């Protein structure tokens, strides 16, 4: 219990806080298919938590459970020390959980700036009508939001594509825009679904730097799914390893690396 409140210190000297979200005995079934089987782990404030595993292990389903897109068949999600009831995804978003998608989900026809502005949606107070009229409070509010968005643009170094329609951007930049949009929501937990899939080495390095910087600068708790083991081992503070919907390992990267189950899962052993 003491550990729950106090947290720990990472090897590079960052102080990780108490438990922000706890997943208790989550099971997720689609008809007869069991995607997640009785998984429990926690996410602490300020840490970078990775979920890894072979294809079809249930990583993305896990992320969807966290983001409220799937309601677990069994088990509980505790957030900020309270049990989270079944919610619509937008309600979860309002709680401060933002995400990026494995296959980019941006508005292709809109500019980068507008796309990122949509990330502020949950934080906008004025109603649809006043916003449409762009009158009174709404105008002042937009300025405020724009300022925040510009800071994120500056942070992610995408000033040069600010006004470019997203559809015209290369893949790597789209990923970065998606990260920007997620950041614009000022999330408490940032969920990244394969942020580095399909990138070249240089783009990967950039992305890594941004993820670390985001964590460092804003103290955002980050949960990421990634296939690139090098990236995961470098970035994350603690790793959850999944295989066939079960959790087979959990702990700091070094510990996970030496876990026999994990090695078996990745190198392959015959399943009886």
The size of the interface with another protein (CB under 8 A), counted in residues, is 16
| Interatomic CA distance for residues 114 and 100, integer angstroms | 16
Closest distance to another protein from the beta carbon of 38 (Å): 40
Question: Measured at the alpha carbon of residue 101, what is the angle toward residues 141 and 238, in degrees to the nearest 5?
Answer: 100
- Stretch of 15-23, 35-43, 75-83, 144-152 contacting another protein, by CB under 8 A: 144-152
- Stretch of 53-61, 151-159, 178-186, 221-229 contacting another protein, by CB under 8 A: 151-159
For another protein, which is the closer residue by CB, 74 or 154?
A: 154
Question: What distance lies between CA 154 and its chain's CA centroid?
Answer: 21
CB contact at 8 A, 94 and 100: no
Question: Is residue 157 within the footprint of another protein (CB under 8 A)?
Answer: yes
Question: Is residue 125 within the footprint of another protein (CB under 8 A)?
Answer: no
Residues in the chain, how many? 272
- Stretch of 132-140, 150-158, 184-192, 264-272 contacting another protein, by CB under 8 A: 150-158
For another protein, which is the closer residue by CB, 13 or 170?
A: 13
Closest distance to another protein from the beta carbon of 116 (Å): 11
Sheet containing 238-243: give its strands across: 97-99, 189-193, 221-225, 48-52, 238-243, 246-251
Question: Is residue 74 within the footprint of another protein (CB under 8 A)?
Answer: no
| Interatomic CA distance for residues 48 and 221, integer angstroms | 6
With tokens 């997720």, the residue in question is 28
Q: Nearest CA to 227 among 252, 207, 198, 253?
A: 198
Closest distance to another protein from the beta carbon of 173 (Å): 11
Question: Is residue 146 within the footprint of another protein (CB under 8 A)?
Answer: yes
Using DSSP, state whether 198 is helix, strand or coil: coil
Closest distance to another protein from the beta carbon of 199 (Å): 19
Beta partners for residue 122, in sequence order: none
Residue from 15, 159, 200, 260 touching another protein (CB under 8 A): that is: 159
Which x/- pattern, by CB under 8 A, does the window 24-63 give for another protein?
----------------------------------------
Q: Nearest CA to 47 among 200, 236, 243, 255?
A: 236
Question: Measured at the alpha carbon of residue 66, what is the angle toward residues 60 and 67, in degrees to the nearest 5?
Answer: 90
Closest distance to another protein from the beta carbon of 206 (Å): 13
Residue ranges binding another protein (CB under 8 A): 13, 146-147, 150-151, 153-155, 157, 159-160, 162-163, 213, 216-217
């Amino acid at each position: 219990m003491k550990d729950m409140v106090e947290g720990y210190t990472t090897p590079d000297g960052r102080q990780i806080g108490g438990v922000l979200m706890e997943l208790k005995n989550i099971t997720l079934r689609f008809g007869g298919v069991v995607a997640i089987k009785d998984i429990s782990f926690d996410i602490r404030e300020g840490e970078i938590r990775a979920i890894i595993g072979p294809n079809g292990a249930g990583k993305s389903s896990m992320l969807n459970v966290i983001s409220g897109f799937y309601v677990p068949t069994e088990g509980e999600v505790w957030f900020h020390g309270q049990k989270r009831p079944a919610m619509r995804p937008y309600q979860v978003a309002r709680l401060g959980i933002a995400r990026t998608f494995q296959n980019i989900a941006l508005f292709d026809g809109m500019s980068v700036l507008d796309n990122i502005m949509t990330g502020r949606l949950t934080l906008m107070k004025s109603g649809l009508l006043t916003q449409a009229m762009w009158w009174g409070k709404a105008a002042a509010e937009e300025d405020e939001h724009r300022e925040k968005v510009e800071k994120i643009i500056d942070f992610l170094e995408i000033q040069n594509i600010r006004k470019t329609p997203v559809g015209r951007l290369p893949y790597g930049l789209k990923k970065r825009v998606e990260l920007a949009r997620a950041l614009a929501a000022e999330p408490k937990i940032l969920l990244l679904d394969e942020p580095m899939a399909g990138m070249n080495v240089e783009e990967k390095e950039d992305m890594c730097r941004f993820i670390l910087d985001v964590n460092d600068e804003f103290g955002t708790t980050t949960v990421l799914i990634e296939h690139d083991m090098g990236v995961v081992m470098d970035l994350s503070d603690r790793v959850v390893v999944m295989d066939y919907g079960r959790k087979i390992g959990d702990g700091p990267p070094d510990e996970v690396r030496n876990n026999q189950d994990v090695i078996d899962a990745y190198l392959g052993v015959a399943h009886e």
